[in-house]
Amino acid sequence: MSRARHRSGRPYQRARRAMFAIYGTVCHICGHEGAGEADHLTPVSVDPGQPLDPHGMRPAHGANAPCPTCLRLCNTERGARPITKAVRTSRDW
């Protein structure tokens, strides 16, 4: 299974829409509203065979939708590192 499967096509778009319907648009990394990307909890680079499951994704800010509050590219900054806990900023920038 290719990595592209996890970023395009109707199955991915359905899973992404379902993820936003379940979890909203609060970034799971910085905690601010306005997340527009789907972050795979287990990076696709680590497990390219994972199913397209909305429960395996969380909203995050990234290159296509930076955080309007702290201006971070949360998903891009996280990369393939494991999630330890949500990174919350001490104040709204």
Convert the pLDDT of each residue in 20-40 to its tens digit: 999 999 999 999 999 999 999
In a domain, 85, yes or no: no
Number of domains in the chain: 1
The CA R_g of the chain, rounded to the nearest whole Å, is 13
**Mean pLDDT of the region 51-75:** 91
In a domain, 88, yes or no: no
In a domain, 87, yes or no: no
> What percentage of the chain carries pLDDT values higher than 70?
82
> Where do the H-state alpha helices sit in 1-93?
9-23, 74-78
In a domain, 89, yes or no: no
In a domain, 26, yes or no: yes
Computed over every residue of the chain, the mean pLDDT equals 84
DSSP 8-class letter at 16: H
In a domain, 90, yes or no: no
